[in-house]
Amino acid sequence: MNKKMKKILAGALIASLSFGLLACEKKDNRREDHPEEVAQGESIEASKAGMGNEMIKPADYAWQVKDTYEFPYMGAKITLPKTLQDMMTKKDVIMLDDQSLGDKNEIKYAMLTFSALTEEDKNKEIPKMGDEYPKWLEAIKRAGTLGIYEKSMDEAAISKVTKCDTHTKLGESQDGKYNYYLSTAGDVDQSIQDALKEVKLETMERTPMAENGYVFQEKEMEQTSDAKSVAPFETQDIDGKAFTDADFAKNKLTMVNVFATWCTACIQEIPDLEKLNEEMKDKGVGIVGVVMDTHEDGKDIPEALDKAKAIQSKLKTTYPFLKPDDKLMNGRLQGIQALPETFFVDSKGNIVGETYTGAKSLEEWKAVVEKELKNVK
C-alpha cells in the first residue's frame, strides 16, 4: 500500500471501521435454497464479500513525518522541530488528527494530536475492520495537541477534548473567529514536552471549508488545478474491459463512486447503489465505481483486484468497477482524504455539481441525483 492509500485509510479508519456490516434479515425462497447467493439490494458480511479482515499495525497509519504542513482550511502553516521529527520517525511519538464541525461545516475545533507510544503500542496488530482501532486510539497516551478552537471554547472545554492540562495560546485566526492553542500533558516524558513546545505556527487566510468537511487537507493535496473535467479519460474495468470518455457520453449524468475494497462503509452501500442504477437508467443516469486500491503507482494490485471481483460477484453488481487511471482523472482523485467519495460527471466528461463524502441510503442518493440532474444543461 503506497503513502497515498495509507493516508486515505488513516482518515477513514475511525469513520469506516466503526461500522459493522450487518447481514440483512430479509429472506426469500432463493436464499433459503441457496444461502451462498445474495439478493440484489441486500448487505452481506464483509468476509463473504471477499474482504478478508486482515491485520494491520495502527501505528503505521499516522501522519507522514516532514518539516512543514500547510492547512488552508485551518488557516495555519505548522513547522515541527527536528527533535520531534526524530521521535516521529522512530514512532516514539505519532501525529494524528481530530475535528468537530458544526452547521454548514463550520469548525468547532480541529487539532493535530501527538501521542507517545510504548513498544507494545508500536507493534500491536488489530483487525482492519471492527472496533479495535477506536479502542487502540483511546488507550495510547496523549502527549499534546496543536489546534484551532472556536472562541466560545474556554480552557476547561479545551482540556476536555485535548486530554491535556496546560494550554498556550499561539494566536488568533485572521478572520478573528478562532483561537490557536498548543496543549501539553504534564504526565509524559519531559523530552516530548520540550519538543512539542518548539512547534511553530504561522497563520494565514483561512480557505472556506470544502464539501468533504475534512479540515486537514493539505495545500499540496488539493485537487490538481481544481479539475473541471476528467477528460481525456481512458482506463479499464477490473476485468480488463476498456472504459473511456465515450462511456460517459452514453448518459446525461454519471455518478462516480470512489471506494476501496477495505472500506466497510463503502461496501455496505453498494447494494443501494445497484438499486439506484436500475431505477435511474430511464432518466439518463449511470453509475461507475472507481476502486482506488486496485491500481497504484502505475501497477495493478492483484490482491485488491481479486477482492473487487469477489465483491462485485457476490453483490450481483451490474455497473462497472473501474481501476483508477494513471492520471487519477486529471488529478480529481488526488485530493481524496476519506472514502467513499462521490461526484458527478456529465456526458462531455465535465465534473458537475457537489462532492459527497460518506455512504448514504437509497432514498438519500435518489434525492441527491434528482438535485444534480437539475444542474445538468
Cα–Cα distance measured from residue 151 to residue 25, given in angstroms and rounded to the nearest whole number: 47
* Spatial CA neighbour of 223 closest among 235, 211, 237: 211
What value does the mean pLDDT take over residues 287-297?
90
Give the C-alpha separation, 122 to 157, whole Å.
30
Cβ neighbors of 282 (< 8 A, separation 6 or more) are none
Q: Considering the chain, tell me which residue range(s) the CATH 3.40.30.10 domain(s) occupy.
A: 3-54+220-374
Is residue 184 over pLDDT 90? yes
279/300 Cα distance (integer angstroms): 32
Assign 5 a pLDDT band (cuts: 50, 70, 90).
low
- 3-54+220-374 carries CATH number 3.40.30.10: yes
Q: What are phi and psi of 247, to 5 degrees?
A: -75, -35
**14 vs 184: CA distance, rounded Å:** 24
Give the per-residue pLDDT at 4.
Answer: 53
Is residue 18 predicted with pLDDT exceeding 50?
A: no
Burial 155-192 (b: 16+ CB within 10 A, else e): eeebeebbbbebbeebeebeeeebbbbbbbbeebeeeb
pLDDT confidence of residue 359: 86
Greater confidence (32 vs 230) lies with: 230
Name the phi and psi angles at 150, rounded to 5: -60, 150
pLDDT digits (tens, 9 = 90+) for 74-92: 999 999 999 999 999 999 9
Q: Does residue 40 carry a pLDDT above 70?
A: no
Q: What is the pTM of this model?
A: 0.60
CA distance 81 to 253: 49
Instruction: Look at 171-185, 309-323, 355-369 and tell me which has the smallest mean pLDDT.
Output: 355-369
Predicted local confidence at residue 43, as pLDDT: 39
Q: Average pLDDT, stretch 135-162?
A: 96
